Structure formats: C-alpha cells, structure tokens
Amino acid sequence: MAVHEVRLRRSETVAEGTMAFHLSRPQGFSFRAGQSLLLGLIDPLETDSEGDRRTFTIASAPHEADLMVATRMRDTAFKRVLKSLPAGAALTIDGPNGSMVLEEDASRQLVFLAGGIGITPFRSMILHAAHERLPQRILLLYGNRRPEDAAFLAELQEVERRHASFRLVALMSEPEKSSQAWSGETGRVDRALIERHVADPQKAIYYFAGPPPMTMAMHAMLEELGVGEPSMRYEEFYGY
C-alpha cells in the first residue's frame, strides 16, 4: 500500500471531548466500510514516545467524497498537534487496513456492539449499507455515559428513520449527569440488552471494536450467550 499525502479539509467537535477530522481523498483511494488507515503528522511542532502516526478507523463511508476519522482528544503530543492544524495542512495516510467489514450473507442479522468512540467503524458500515440499499438487517446497540458523549447519534437516528433494515438502540449509563433530557434506554451493552433486542442471539453475527479490555469483555459475554467464535467479527484498538 502506498503512502499518500492528504490535506485537512476541516475539523469539528462531534461529541464532548471528541473531534472529527475531514481529509482530502487521494485519487483512486478505495476502501471497504469498517477498514482503517494510518494517519501521520508531517514535521510536527512537538512529538513524544508514542510517535507521529496513529491508526484510525475510517469513519466515513466509501461513497463519501472525503475521508473522515474521529477520536477522543486525549492530552498527547499527537492529538495536540492534530487539533491545532489549520485547514489545508498536509498529513500522510497509509492504508486501508483491516478485515472487519460487512458480512455478505444477508440471511443472518448483524449486531453491532459499540461504546463511545468505538462507533467509528459502524458509522461507515451503516451509511454504506443504507446508501447501497443492502439487504442485511443491522442492529446497532450503542452505549454512552450521556447524550453529550454520543458521537454521530443524531445522524444515526436519522438513518434509522429512513431505512427499515437498520435499527438503533441507544442507551446511556449516566443520564442523570446530562444537561439533556433522555427518555431512551439506560444501562450498558450487556447480555440482558442483547436478549431483549435480538430474537435469536445464537444465529446473529456480532461486530465489536475497541481497546483490549472492552473486546475481551464483549467476547466473554457472547460466549456465555452461546455465540461461537465464527460468529464474531472484532478488532482491538489502542491509544484511546
């Protein structure tokens, strides 16, 4: 895979403490929904032991004109520099990478388990499936502490209104700490939630992504439900 130089189109806050960065898309750059790229800074003003490149899921869908990544804004040299870049700044990308992509078998329900910034691969997949009118039945179980923390929530709610094959269950674990009213589900993404919303849990295909403790917990929970390894699609990400 070739390394491409890209330009920062714009950056925006998409949830409290979370930003999205829109990048120019190199001619001929193609990827599958759910894949990632390696984003690099060019001659940054500061650096640290973690280096000047990070892996990010491509949060944009393949049909969208620009590439987009989103991240929690931890206080690291990489993210401080990235946040301060003006529109037009040059960066590098290498990719795409990753194999956690949409299952082509439309006979089985796809269940996406997402928490916080782990929503990024699923935004890409859901928008792609809606744009292409794919037959897959997709259920997204999306947990956050508060509505303010839920990146892309309004957009996903709109996709659900327009596409019958996609269903969203958003839930908050600490809605009492929010300045916004929340009338939806509360709690966390757990076995009880799956059993309430998935008619036949053993027959679905499950997708999840995040830091190792999260993926290990999801894996163990699904095993307790009787879901086998062949029915799981997951990736571990570091550096949240």
As a whole number of angstroms, the distance between CA 211 and CA 201 comes to 24
Assign residue 208 the CATH number of its domain: 3.40.50.80
- At 76, which CATH number? 2.40.30.10
Find residue 90's DSSP bridge partners.
7
Say how many domains are in the chain: 2
pLDDT tens across 169-211, in order?
Answer: 999 999 999 999 999 999 999 999 999 999 999 999 999 988 8
Task: Kindly report the pTM of this predicted structure.
Answer: 0.94
Domain boundaries, position 198:
110-236
pLDDT tens for residues 55-101?
Answer: 999 999 999 999 999 999 988 999 999 999 999 999 999 999 998 99
202 in the same domain as 114: yes
- Together in a domain, 28 and 118: no
Per-residue confidence (pLDDT) for residue 50, from 0 to 100: 84
Same domain, 15 and 86: yes
Same domain, 69 and 117: no
* Model confidence at 130: pLDDT above 60: yes
